[in-house]
Amino acid sequence: MISPKFKIQQLAIKQVLGYLRKDPEKNLPKVVSWLRKFDTENLYSAQYDMVDEYLKDQNNNWTKLMCNLVNNVDPNIVETVFTNFLLNASIKGWSVVAQSKEKYGYETPFTILVDPTTACNKKCIGCWAADYNKALNLSYEELDKLFNDGKELGIYFYIMTGGEPLVRKNDILKLAKKHNDCVFMFFTNGTLIDQKFCEDLIEVGNLVPTISVEGFDDATDDRRGKGSWNDIMRAMDLMKSNRIPFGFSTCFTTANCDSVLSEEFIDLMMDKGAYFSWYFTFMPIGCKTDTSLMANPDQREKLYRTIRGWRENKAIFNMDFWHDAEYVGGCVAGGRRYCHINANGDVEPCVFCHYSNANIKEVSLLEALGQPLFREYQKNQPFNCNQFRPCPILDNAPKIAEMVKKSGAKSTEFIDPEDVDDLCKKTINYGLTWAKRAEPLWKENVESKNKGKLVYEKEVDKNDVLE
């Protein structure tokens, strides 16, 4: 049940957004100062300070992005997502998460990635989901219980993948309506997005699509099947015409490096209507995976530099899942910030880590989050002080093997369970090779930040004197 306090805050947010729509460029800074008032425990004061600094420049990319969202996205979606994410997931939820850690002695994640189903109408090369039984599903009742239990722990942000989650389209819409105080994002191949579904998205307001794409037409069709590119373009055009916000995700490999990091590609995605992106480095998960797809050091450095460069000149929120670890203190997996629940109910540290001690069909969510493997993760995080090397599988093997063995976790793969030592054999030399490149990159990054901090402090001191 929605509390009276939430209803009052929700009304206040609606009024703030209405004021913002009148003149986004002019009113954005004022709106941020108002939003600070909701953060009564000052959980995000540093983030608000950073946003304030960005918004001083109306030509800043972040200002352009925010104005684009306010002007071009359906008002019900803007209001619902903004309200649920700010008030519930960020302010209310984070406070409960912090209390839970003190109470139970282990972390509660900010978000949970869950697979409603392993069923899919595609068979993409290198997809980790291919090693799961294609007939697995979490029932509507199990998903409903998960979201209820999650909210008790302060978790109001959920991400869905699969399989293809829209195979369960009706259940997902029903769950979004029932849990209208949450934000749900889902990864999809786009084939099942039609006009009726766009209308449903506008009605519920709290479901945000992310389209999986591998580059241009040839690269996408080669990995995802002939006609996939046309399906993606159609889905994006449809969502843009319906004023639905969406993003795109891409699995960064040796095969598509140049295309997905090209100006032509990112400009096309923005033109199609994408507001954010996820860039994932290819992981060699599964016994039969093609390890030649793992990005080499030159390509991985190019990923890092390109994404950082786009943040200066592209009005889109780009996320580099590996090299952005510095902003969240390293690896986020193992329940520290997020975890993964597969369609069999196994609660895994990460979508790429198929080992577990717990299943939500057998234990409560709270018990699953306290499983031995998660505690090993949290005990060892960060896995490296160089946060361009955050991952215990790809960058720091055999760390993952040590944790799996010490916790007694078992493989959750159905078709061909992978021994954790075999997994490490595929990544240990890769991690050592990347370390040689990552060390000077990290040093350069730290020196740049320190220099920027000194410049900022001098500017602040100068302004204080002038005042």
Measured distance CA(452)–CA(448) in Å, rounded: 6
- For 124-155, what is the HEC assignment? CCCCHHHHCCCCCECCHHHHHHHHHHHHHCCC
Q: 128 vs 93, which has greater pLDDT?
A: 93
The candidate with the shortest Cα–Cα distance to 255, out of 225, 287, 216, is 216
pLDDT in tens, 299-337: 999 999 999 999 989 999 999 999 999 999 999 999 999
Measured distance CA(277)–CA(300) in Å, rounded: 17
H helices within 255-360, ranges in order?
257-260, 263-272, 297-313
Instruction: To the nearest 10°, report the CA torsion of 266, 268, 269, 272.
Output: 160
Sign of CA dihedral 353, 356, 362, 363: negative
pLDDT of amino acid 222: 78
The candidate with the shortest Cα–Cα distance to 353, out of 402, 271, 412, 407, is 412
Measured distance CA(94)–CA(8) in Å, rounded: 20
Measured distance CA(368)–CA(94) in Å, rounded: 19
Question: On the CB side of 42, how many CA atoms lie within 13 Å of its CA?
Answer: 3
pLDDT of amino acid 467: 43
Residue 281 pLDDT more than 60?
yes
Total-model pTM: 0.90
pLDDT in tens, 399-445: 999 999 999 999 999 888 999 999 999 999 999 999 999 999 999 99
- Determine the average pLDDT of the residues in 361-386: 97
The candidate with the shortest Cα–Cα distance to 208, out of 291, 274, 254, is 274
Measured distance CA(16)–CA(260) in Å, rounded: 37
pLDDT of amino acid 133: 54
Residue 103: both structure tokens together: 């109470």
Q: 246 vs 288, which has greater pLDDT?
A: 246
In the DSSP assignment, the letter for residue 338 is: E
Measured distance CA(87)–CA(180) in Å, rounded: 13
CB atoms under 10 Å from CB of 34, counted, come to 15
pLDDT in tens, 101-151: 889 999 999 999 999 998 876 665 555 555 555 678 999 999 999 999 999
**CB burial string 124-157: b at 16+ within 10 A, e below:** bbbbbbbbbeeebbbebebbbebbeebbebbbbb
Q: Where are the beta strands (DSSP E) in 191-309?
A: 207-212, 246-252, 274-281
- Identify the helix (H) or strand (E) that includes residue 158: strand 157-160
Contacts 24+ apart (CB under 8 A), 377-381: 377/331, 377/333, 377/334, 377/335, 377/336, 377/349, 377/403, 378/106, 378/107, 378/334, 378/335, 378/336, 381/329, 381/330, 381/331, 381/334, 381/336
Measured distance CA(27)–CA(157) in Å, rounded: 28
Tokens 């960005």 found at? 54
pLDDT of amino acid 463: 47
Residue 368 pLDDT more than 70?
yes
Which residues share a beta bridge with 212? 249
What percent of the chain stands above pLDDT 70? 89
Residue 143: both structure tokens together: 């998903």
pLDDT of amino acid 164: 92
Residue 66's pLDDT band, with cuts at 50, 70 and 90, is confident
- End-to-end CA gap in the chain: 50
